[in-house]
């Protein structure tokens, strides 16, 4: 059996963190932590070393793009999928250029969430 992939969920809304957690756990992913802002994300990332970070774009203090850039400076190989309610192509494009693997739109569609997460994780599994 494959090992459980560990995911850190970042969103300033506890409702949305829990909704995403429920979907991912149902599909066998392990949620190793949850954060509600950028600084907490960096601290938890260093501590938990997750396989993937699901990162909200719109957050107070430090937005998702700033958090992504900081995360990539800490670990250039960090696997990050952005989570956004905005369909703004510009912000998603900025995040992809900054190193995000893909994005998930809110409200969550379970099949789409799992498809995006699986793709991101398989593309980050580099041959050793």
CB distance 65 to 25 below 8 Å: no
Q: Tell me the residue range of the domain where 69 lies.
A: 6-123
Question: Is there a domain that residue 1 lies in?
Answer: no
> What are the φ and ψ backbone dihedral angles of 73, each rounded to 5 degrees?
-75, -30
Per 3-state DSSP, what percentage of the chain is helix, strand, and coil (rounded to 5)? Answer: 45, 20, 35
CATH number for the domain that contains residue 103: 3.40.50.2300
Q: How many domains is the chain built from?
A: 1
User: pLDDT per position in the chain (128 positions), as tens?
Assistant: 457 899 999 999 999 999 999 999 999 999 999 999 999 999 999 999 999 999 999 898 899 999 999 999 999 999 999 998 865 667 888 999 999 999 998 889 999 999 999 999 998 765 54
What are 123's two structure tokens?
């593309």
Question: Is there a domain that residue 54 lies in?
Answer: yes
Task: Please state, in angstroms and rounded to a whole number, the distance separating the CA atoms of residues 3 and 36.
Answer: 27
Task: Please state, in angstroms and rounded to a whole number, the distance separating the CA atoms of residues 113 and 125.
Answer: 19
């Amino acid at each position: 059996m494959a090992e459980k992939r560990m995911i850190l969920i970042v969103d300033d809304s506890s409702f949305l963190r829990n909704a995403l957690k429920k979907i991912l756990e149902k599909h066998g992913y392990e949620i190793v932590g949850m954060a509600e802002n950028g600084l907490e994300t960096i601290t938890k990332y260093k501590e938990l070393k997750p396989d993937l970070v699901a990162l909200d774009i719109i957050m107070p203090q430090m937005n998702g793009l700033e958090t992504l850039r900081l995360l990539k400076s800490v670990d250039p190989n960090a696997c990050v999928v952005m989570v956004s309610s905005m369909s703004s192509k510009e912000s998603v494009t900025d995040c992809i250029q900054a190193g995000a693997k893909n994005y998930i739109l809110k409200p969550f569609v379970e099949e789409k969430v799992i498809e995006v997460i699986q793709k991101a994780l398989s593309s980050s599994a580099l041959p050793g």
